[in-house]
Amino acid sequence: MLARWTDPFLFVVVLGTGILLILTGLLMVVGCGGKNPYEANSFERAFYFYEKHKYHDAVQALEIFVRQNPTDSLAAKAQYFKAVSYVEIKEYPLAIVEFQILRKDFPTSEYVEDSYFQEGVAHLEQVGQVERDITAAYDARAVFNRLLIQYPDSQHSTEAKDYLRKISDLIVLKRMKAADVYRHLGRLDAVNLVLEQTLVQETQSSLLDEVLFRLAQNAEKRYLPQDALEAYERLLNEYPESRRAGKAKSRLKKLKKAQEQ
C-alpha cells in the first residue's frame, strides 16, 4: 500500500531529505566556485590567486611560474606581482628584494618604473618613530631619487616628491631631537653644528623655519648676537608665513635695539 502524505512522520522525513539534497548541491556549487579553475603552474592560475586576494598562494604560484618559465613574455609580470603580493601581506623586506630582482632579471620590463616607486614605499613602511632607527627612510630616499632621475616624467613623480619631502621632515625631526640632547648637556657648539648641517643637507624639508629659529636661539645662548640676527632675518625673508615669524620679529627688534645702544 502506498504511504499517504497525510502521515506526519513520513512527510517530515521526505521534506528533510529534500532540504539536505538542496543544501548539498549548493555547497558543491560554492565549493567549485572557490577553486582555482586554471591548470597547475600556469600564469593564469597564479594571477587568479592574486585577484582573489589570496596573496600567500599567489606568491607561491608566481614563484613557480617564474622559475619554470624565465623567458616567457609573462615572466616579468609574474615577478612584479609576486613582489606586490609581499607588500599586501606586509612582508616588506621580501618585497624589496623581489622588486630588485625584477629590475635585475627584466631590465626592459614595463614594470621597472613602478617597481622603483613601490620599493620606496616598502622601505618607508619599515620606518618607526622618530626615536627609532630611520635607516629605511634613507634607503627610500635613494630609491625615489633614482626613480626621478631615470623617469623624470614618471606617473609617480608627484607622489615621489611628496614622499621625499616627508622623508626630509622625518630626518630633520630626528636631528632636532639630537640637538635637544646636546643642548641639555650644555654642548651648544654641537647644537649649532647639527642645525647648520641640517639646513645645508635637508633643503626639501618643510621644517627649515623651525631649524632657523632654533639656530638663532642657540646663537643668543652662545652670546653671538650677530649670528642670531642673521638667522632671524633669514627666517623672516624665506618663511614669512612661519608660525615662528612673530617671535622672530620680536627677538630681531630687541637685538637691533641692543646693537644701537
Span 155-199, pLDDT tens digits:
999 999 999 999 999 999 999 999 999 999 999 999 999 999 999
CATH homologous superfamily, domain 40-169: Tetratricopeptide repeat domain (1.25.40.10)
Architecture of domain 175-260: Alpha Horseshoe (1.25)
- With a pLDDT cut of 90, the percent of the chain lying above it is 79
> Residue 135 carries which side chain, given as an amino acid letter?
T
Q: What is the band of 260 on the pLDDT scale with cuts at 50, 70, 90?
A: confident
d(CA 39, CA 123): 35
H-type alpha helices, 106-156: 112-124, 135-150
Span 47-76, pLDDT tens digits:
999 999 999 999 999 999 999 999 999 999
Domain boundaries, the chain: 40-169, 175-260
